[in-house]
Structure 1
Amino acid sequence: MKREDPYLLLAMLVRQEQLLQFEFFNSDIALEIGLRLVRAAREARQAITVDITRQGQRLFYHAMSGTPADHAHWIWRKSNLVKRTGHSSLHAHTQVSLGGGTIPAIPTLDARQFAALGGAFPLTIRGSGVVGTITVAGLPGADDHALVVRVLRDYLKVSEGL
């Protein structure tokens, strides 16, 4: 993801969250999206860890060869941030950066439990709201986010406004 005006980036991130929503979501969809994420990383010769969780139930988890065990901790922290804010972890990162702060500077968020880095995206059911997270770890945060968005756009066949 290229660097741009942070206010424009925030608007784009909100638009992504509005457009990349599901009519319904089940284990089969989680498997398909998870495999697409892994396939995309393989094609780019990247190693990532993927987690897809709905309503507290892990539906897909895969750590590619060469990924460190601490990806699980990064996924947990990034996902916690999405659950807390209802926005992607890159949205939270951008918003905090705009204010000149960092997650440790936010009194209500413990940096040991929350990571304001890209890669966790809200799993949203249209009309129901955020029900889980789709999270990638292993690349720079903005690239983790871009990978999730690219796969969701393809899966949901969304091309407008992104």
Structure 2
Amino acid sequence: MTDVATIVAEVEDQERELVLSAFTHEDAWRLGALLVELATERDLPITIDIRKGTQQVFHAARPGTTPDNDSWIERKVRVVHRFGASSYLVGLRARAKGSDFNADHGLPFQEYSAHGGAFPVRVAGVGIVGVVTVSGLEQEDDHALAVEALRTLAVK
């Protein structure tokens, strides 16, 4: 089993690696469509959300999801906006310290969730310009799927 510190380092590497040259509304749509395609091929029960700034540009819910997935998305996105890192990384850092994310920051769980699935969209020379979020799988799988799609978008 991989220790938390190793996973933290891997996710930090992903965040350094996945920096785009631009991120337009069309890119957001392509990213969302790519995630729908991957989820359809793999028959994954996920909800997908793509934001450019604070604007929701793409949203899709697959069979097997519920409105609760939308709530998870909102809570994960708030973590990215507030802490400037993926929701998975923020949660892993808390776990590595043996602490409770929500208690440490005085944040209600119904508003902030440091669970995997929301990943910042960064543009070189600009910083965070959006968020890609997946909800419906185990948190590490939500995170991995968002990273896979963002990596695919980055090489196109």
TM-score, scaled to structure 2? 0.94
Q: How far apart are 1:151 and its partner, in Å?
A: 1.2
Q: How far apart are 1:59 and its partner, in Å?
A: 0.8
What are the residue-to-residue correspondences of 1:56-95 with 2, within 5 Å? 56-95=54-93
Q: 1:143-162: per-residue Cα shift (whole Å, max 9, x none)? A: 0000011111122129xxxx
Q: How far apart are 1:130 and its partner, in Å?
A: 0.9
Match of 2:39 among 38, 41, 46: 41
Contact 1:103 1:114 survives alignment (8 Å)? no
Q: How far apart are 1:77 and its partner, in Å?
A: 0.1
Tell me the distance in 2 between the aligned counterparts of 1:27 and 1:109: 31
Contact 2:23 2:129 survives alignment (8 Å)? no
Q: How far apart are 1:121 and its partner, in Å?
A: 0.0
Q: Could you say what the CA RMSD is over the residues aligned between the two structures, in angstroms?
A: 1.4
C-alpha distance 87-45 of structure 1, shift in aligned 2 (>3 A): same
Which residue does the alignment assign to 1:15?
13
Which residue does the alignment assign to 1:108?
106
Match of 1:27 among 10, 13, 25: 25
SS in 2 for 1:106: helix
Q: How far apart are 1:34 and its partner, in Å?
A: 0.4
Which residue does the alignment assign to 2:147?
149
2:83 maps to a residue whose letter is T
Contact 1:103 1:110 survives alignment (8 Å)? no
Match of 1:5 among 3, 6, 9: 3
Tell me the distance in 1 between the aligned counterparts of 2:102 and 2:77: 17
Tell me the distance in 2 between the aligned counterparts of 1:39 and 1:66: 16
SS in 1 for 2:106: coil
TM-score, scaled to structure 1? 0.91
Gap runs ≥5 in structure 2: none
Q: 1:92-135: per-residue Cα shift (whole Å, max 9, x none)? A: 11101011122232133221211011000001111111122100
Gap runs ≥5 in structure 1: none
Tell me the distance in 2 between the aligned counterparts of 1:102 and 1:70: 22
Q: 1:53-100: per-residue Cα shift (whole Å, max 9, x none)? A: 111111111111231011111000000001111111110111010111
Mean Cα displacement is larger for which, 21-30 or 105-114? 105-114
2:22 maps to a residue whose letter is F
Q: Percent identity between the aligned chains?
A: 36
SS in 2 for 1:47: coil
